[in-house]
Amino acid sequence: MSALPVGQKAPGFTLPGSPEEPLSLSDSRGKNVVLAFFPAAFSPVCGNELSLFQELKPDFEELNAVVVGISVDGPWAQKAFAKQLNLEMPVLSDFHPHGEVAQKYGVFRDDGVAERALFVIDAEGVIRYSYVSPITENPGADKVLEVLEGLQKGG
């Protein structure tokens, strides 16, 4: 399975998680979306990745972007995870059917969890950045910010 490449239309989805209301990709049309797949809630590297995105919230806002975390954990785990890390961003539960959205994006692993993957989806719903990180490595925010800055300049 390989991650959907740049230029493809981003598959739509609606998922529950944190906060209470289910979220659809189409809710964010008109904004850039950073879709951050991660293998499991509560692994320390994940926490760092989403915590980092949380700290950079004003930067993402300036770039007309929202960050959305997503993993195969259940909605209750996502709520607890988001609460523990004080995450204000949506953390979605790709739990049922298991990993369906990860599969659509080509980032579902044989061991049953999502890859650690980042997608930037532009305001028209087109994938503009696609990256699968080594599973134990926090990919950071630099490339994503660079791509968003390029989009803002009309890249």
Partner 1 sequence: MGEHGAHVLRVAVGADDWRRGPDDAPVTLVEYGDFQCPHCGAAYRVLEELLAQFPGRVRLVYRHFPLMSSHPRALPAAIAAEAAGAQGRFWEMHHLLFENQHALGDDELVEYANRIGLDMERFRADFEGRLNESKIREQLRQGARSGVNGTPTIFVNGERYDGPRTVEALAQAVAAAG
Binding site for partner 1 (CB under 8 A): 45, 47-49, 51-52, 54-56, 59, 84-87, 131, 133, 137-143, 145-146
Q: Select 90 or 99, whichever has its Cβ closest to partner 1.
A: 90
Q: Long-range CB contacts (< 8 A, 24+ apart) of 145-154?
A: 145/56, 145/59, 145/63, 147/120, 148/32, 148/34, 148/60, 148/63, 148/64, 148/65, 148/120, 149/63, 151/32, 151/63, 151/120, 151/122, 152/63, 152/64
- Can you name the residues that pair with 24 across neighbouring β-strands? 14
Catalytic residue among 3, 23, 46, 82: 46
To partner 1, the closest distance from the beta carbon of 61 in angstroms equals 13
For the question of residue 23 being annotated catalytic, the response is no
To partner 1, the closest distance from the beta carbon of 59 in angstroms equals 6
Q: Select 2 or 86, whichever has its Cβ closest to partner 1.
A: 86
To partner 1, the closest distance from the beta carbon of 86 in angstroms equals 4
Q: Select 87 or 114, whichever has its Cβ closest to partner 1.
A: 87
The two tokens of residue 154 are: 């009309």
